[in-house]
Amino acid sequence: MAVDPKQILGAFLTFSMFAMLANMIKEDHFTPTNVSVKLPGPPEIQYDKIRITEPKRVTNPKKNTGPWVEDGVELKSCWTRPAPKEAESSGFVTFSLMHGPEYHISQIADAVVVARYLGATLVLPDIRGSQPGDKRNFDEVYNVEKFVKSLDGVIKVTKDQPAEVAAGKLAVVKVPNRVTEDHIAEHIEPVFRMKRNIRLVTYFPSVNMRKAEGKKGLDSVACLAMFGTLQLESELQEVVDLMVERLRTSSRKSGGKFIAVDLRVDILEKKACQGRTDSGRKSCYDAQEIAVFLREIGFQKDTTIYLTQSKWHDSLDALKEFFPKTYTKDSIIPGDQKHKFLDSGAFEVEKVLDFYICSESDVFVPAISGLFYANVAGKRIASGRTQILVPSEVSSSSASAADFISSYVSKKNHLAHSCFC
């Protein structure tokens, strides 16, 4: 059968048209090289250089309720750094840090003020606990280099005990907390000039940290010593950071916020807790009273709470019934650090953990009045964490957390307000 050339040509042209059409569909609809789509955002983004970070937490407004407030602005030191002293004596001032971090801050300040006034060299202190034999080196808790560097040009500091100090019997001088120049001149300088080497023992006529109106003289030295010298050594700081992170993880429904409550059962049982403060409020509040207080001012059931109590006690059950996410150190400290910091009887180190966690929490509630409350308040004021709620009986259904803000904050009468601005 003869093939018509026209049919062959027609078939070829038909096949070519289908091939071209298929190619056009492929290019136009699956590989849009001819279409330019401008996406919102800056031009020439280098995607291979973008750093991937954790997505921001998206909280449910219905669940993220309660009287939380954002932190304020971190304050800057407004004291003038003391000028170097030209004349230095050959004497030494020694002392020990005792009773916990809330006392350490004040003891450091008094020792630095005295050494500066006398022109003496300060010997790096050791740290002593309340139990016999509980003694440790300064560098087991605090950063030595930070301490020495911060005082460079203000006073001389020696890390090692000088031979003449170790061998001799030192004159012990009692120093009132927040010592004044007049007191040094009258009671300390004469002893120092005679003995050359002295040992300071700070006592506390008062536990408050209110500003002294009109006080002048060594304020800049005291501010520097109190707020610019102490920093935790790296391992201890890491433990604090891990514990804080665990508390924030537990409180995701509250935007990662948590409350720290200074509540220790052994203190509540003491006679000092039976009285009232200058403002007429109770000196101490137990777990049941704290639970009612926090609930009445608006904190929700899923709020995360940290207690300074080391291990759980049956008397705390009333608080946990209101707020199930209530923890002590024992339940959130990293397992590999538990024996070292909790089970070894190192009570002073436990207080250090409490002090710094309370300083970093979103809300601080001092169930016990005293120096711990006062010095935690000072650190919080400096860092802008000013939601410090002093517990009391809530007599009105319309009461809010703002009604219970510490007077250290509301009246700006804390010593920190004379050091930071």
374 occurs within a structural domain = yes
Q: Rounded to an integer, what is the distance from CA 247 to the centroid of its chain?
A: 14
Q: Rounded to an integer, what is the distance from CA 310 to the centroid of its chain?
A: 18
Same-domain check for residues 167 and 255: no
Same-domain check for residues 201 and 297: no
| Domain stop point among 203, 227, 251 | 227
pLDDT of residue 53: 34
Distances (CA, A) of 407 to 102, 139, 388: 19, 35, 9
Distances (CA, A) of 43 to 51, 294, 338: 17, 51, 52
Range of the domain at 196: 92-227
Same-domain check for residues 252 and 215: no
Same-domain check for residues 257 and 360: yes
40 occurs within a structural domain = no
8 Å CB contact between 325 and 71: no
Phi/psi at 414 (nearest 5 deg)?
-85, 150
59 occurs within a structural domain = no
pLDDT of residue 22: 47
Same-domain check for residues 239 and 223: no
Same-domain check for residues 248 and 115: no
Same-domain check for residues 176 and 254: no
| Domain stop point among 182, 208, 227 | 227
Which two three-digit tokens encode residue 222? 């005291």
Which two three-digit tokens encode residue 58? 């998206």
Same-domain check for residues 382 and 292: yes
Beta bridge partners of residue 198, listed in sequence order: 93, 171
8 Å CB contact between 158 and 122: yes
Same-domain check for residues 244 and 381: yes
41 occurs within a structural domain = no
166 occurs within a structural domain = yes
Q: Which domain CATH number covers 244? A: 3.40.50
Same-domain check for residues 165 and 263: no
Total count of domains within the chain: 2
DSSP letters along 324-339, please? S-EE-HHHHS-HHHHH
* Residue 102 burial by Cβ neighbours in a 10 Å radius (0-12, 13-18, 19+): buried
Instruction: Please state, in angstroms and rounded to a whole number, the distance separating the CA atoms of residues 310 and 111.
Output: 31
Instruction: Please state, in angstroms and rounded to a whole number, the distance separating the CA atoms of residues 254 and 132.
Output: 43
Phi/psi at 176 (nearest 5 deg)?
-70, 140
75 occurs within a structural domain = no
| Domain stop point among 176, 197, 227 | 227
pLDDT of residue 49: 32
Residue 355, helix vs strand vs coil: helix
pLDDT of residue 177: 92
Which pTM does this prediction carry? 0.81
Distances (CA, A) of 64 to 60, 292, 392: 6, 20, 24
Same-domain check for residues 154 and 124: yes
Instruction: Please state, in angstroms and rounded to a whole number, the distance separating the CA atoms of residues 382 and 272.
Output: 29
23 occurs within a structural domain = no
Same-domain check for residues 395 and 248: yes
Place of tokens 């801050």: 105
Which two three-digit tokens encode residue 182? 């007049």
Closest CA to 130 of 385, 380, 346: 346
Per-residue pLDDT of the chain (421 residues; tens, 9 = 90+): 454 555 555 555 555 554 554 444 444 433 333 333 333 333 332 323 323 333 333 344 344 467 898 888 888 888 888 887 766 667 999 999 998 999 999 999 999 999 999 999 999 999 998 777 778 899 999 999 999 999 999 999 999 888 888 877 889 999 999 999 999 999 999 999 999 899 999 998 877 788 766 554 458 899 999 999 999 999 999 999 999 999 999 998 888 999 999 999 989 988 788 878 777 778 899 999 999 999 999 999 999 999 999 889 999 999 999 999 999 999 999 888 888 888 666 778 899 999 999 999 999 999 999 999 999 999 999 999 999 999 998 887 778 888 999 999 999 999 998 898 8
Amino acid residing at 69: V
Residue 38, helix vs strand vs coil: coil
Neighbours of 114 (CB within 10 A): 27
58 occurs within a structural domain = no
